[in-house]
Amino acid sequence: MKNILSWSKFLLCLALSLDCLAADTPQTFLMRPETLVKGKQLVQQGDAAVVKALGSILQDADKALKNGPYSVVFKEKIPPSGDKHDYMSVGPYWWPDSTKKDGLPYIRKDGQVNPERFSIRDAEYHNALCRDVYLLSIAWYYTGKQDYAAHAARLLRAWFIDPATRMNPNLNFGQSIPGITQGRGIGLIDTRALAKLLDGVSLLKGSHALNAGESAAIRQWYASFLQWMRTSPIGMDEADEHNNHGTWYDVQTVSISLFLGDTAQAAKILREQTIPRIESQLKEDGSQPHELARTLSWNYSQMNLKGFFELARLAENVQLNLWTMETRGGKSLKKAFSWMLAHADPAAPWPYQQIKPRDMKGFAELARLVAPRYPDLDVRKLPAQETDRQADLVLLTGSDL
């Protein structure tokens, strides 16, 4: 009888230990939960490489402690709705028509950014919010220092919760064009970094820096935003784009679905939208004709490929392998990567239009992150990197992107 009781106590302790381990495992989607857990153990053990990587990330997180808060209400211009809580931005490649006295309607100069774009900082603030919350959440997770979590929560309250500063969950006035339109579907490209923000929010759950009501409010905000993305005319217009805009639309809708716990919807989007995009956007040789038609053909090909790679990482959360999958037409992300890799010699001529220098550093960084997925592709000839910051993040979070 005594042995039976001892065995029962052992099983109970084991069950409780497993429950605690599950509770301590982060529910992230780009960052790999198993890497985070292992990374924290290695830091506690004094592993030199991980400790060094953490030190460099903490430098960035310490800078983030001094940033913000950010809000869409800080802009001087008022959106057409009359409500500063509505997000607003100006199309980057649209300029006043010099042949018209009032400059209207604006005309397009692809790849040439009009400085007016920066007079409204909503897009800049959103990118900063995503970056800072991501860094602060990692810093909190690894150090347990509440200052990091508290500041991340402060930033999140300002953007999503505080009635005085919160953003309305829509992009009705994104990338407007004076004299033509007050907002466009392609304005949704402005918020493409939100996947990192959502990972940061998920990682912060263990900090209790946000109370249950605040966490629920952020989830409701994203539920409303996702509903707007999938049902509004502007959102549906972006969903129908056949280039990088459509790709990054999927990144956002899949990320939000995973964040809200709707894995079935995430899988449905990936199967019914993303895989058809791989088929329609790529040629069988891996080239991207929609991006190659741009005046910054290399940069846009790289940007679109990064979006697809981010989707491949997100798809792992629903047991779907986009990394090596081939469509019925023989299209694949591996072929797209291989095609760009073959053209990645900065000394070789690039046979497509590129009105600014190619972003070779960015491609080299992206290539080295995904190279383990494609061990038969050689990335060793790519330019050396000046910084290991991305490598530090990969070591700490396991994120490919």
Q: What digits encode the pLDDT tens for the residues 125-173?
A: 999 999 999 999 999 999 999 999 999 999 999 999 999 999 999 999 9
Q: What is the pLDDT of residue 388?
A: 67
Instruction: Kindly tell me if the per-residue pLDDT of 22 is higher than 60.
Output: no
Contact 335, 346 (CB under 8 A): no
pLDDT grade, residue 15 (50/70/90)? very low
**pTM, rounded to two decimals:** 0.92
Task: Give percent above pLDDT 90 in the chain.
Answer: 86
Tokens of 205: 């759950």
How far apart CA 371 and CA 382 sit, in angstroms, is: 12
Question: Which stretches of 115-172 are DSSP H helices?
Answer: 122-143, 146-156
Mean of the pLDDT values across residues 91-110? 95
Question: Which stretches of 29-178 are DSSP H helices?
Answer: 33-44, 48-64, 122-143, 146-156
pLDDT grade, residue 18 (50/70/90)? very low
- Map residue 174 onto helix, strand or coil: strand
| Residue 383 DSSP label | P
Contact 97, 106 (CB under 8 A): yes
CATH for 39-240 is 1.50.10.100
Q: What is the pLDDT of residue 401?
A: 67
Amino acid at the residue 11: L
Q: Give me the residues paired with residue 165 across strands.
A: none
Q: Do domains 39-240 and 259-401 have the same CATH topology?
A: yes
How far apart CA 241 and CA 2 sit, in angstroms, is: 69
Question: Which stretches of 65-121 are DSSP H helices?
Answer: none
Q: What is the pLDDT of residue 389?
A: 77
pLDDT in tens, 313-344: 999 999 999 999 999 999 999 999 999 999 99
Burial class (CB in 10 A: 0-12, 13-18, 19+), 389: middle
pLDDT grade, residue 355 (50/70/90)? very high
Nearest Cα residue to 203 out of 155, 153, 126, 141: 141
Longest dimension (CA), the chain: 96
- Look at strands 173-176 and 88-90 and give their pairing: parallel
Mean of the pLDDT values across residues 172-200? 96
Architecture in CATH of 259-401: Alpha/alpha barrel (1.50)
Backbone angles phi, psi at 84, to 5 degrees: -65, -15
Question: Which stretches of 240-332 are DSSP H helices?
Answer: 244-259, 263-269, 275-281, 289-292, 297-315
Q: What is the pLDDT of residue 24?
A: 74
End-to-end CA distance of the chain: 56
Q: What is the pLDDT of residue 209?
A: 97
Instruction: Kindly tell me if the per-residue pLDDT of 17 is higher than 50.
Output: no
Q: What is the pLDDT of residue 10?
A: 41
What are the residue boundaries of the structural domains of the chain, listed by start?
Answer: 39-240, 259-401
How far apart CA 239 and CA 80 sit, in angstroms, is: 24
Cα torsion through 274, 280, 285, 290, rounded to 10: -100
pLDDT in tens, 199-243: 999 999 999 999 999 999 999 999 999 999 999 999 999 999 999
Instruction: Kindly tell me if the per-residue pLDDT of 19 is higher than 60.
Output: no
* pLDDT, averaged across the chain: 92
Backbone angles phi, psi at 185, to 5 degrees: -60, -35
Backbone angles phi, psi at 351, to 5 degrees: -80, 15
pLDDT grade, residue 21 (50/70/90)? very low
Burial class (CB in 10 A: 0-12, 13-18, 19+), 378: exposed
pLDDT in tens, 60-90: 999 999 999 999 999 999 999 999 999 999 9
Q: What is the pLDDT of residue 347?
A: 87
Mean of the pLDDT values across residues 360-389? 85
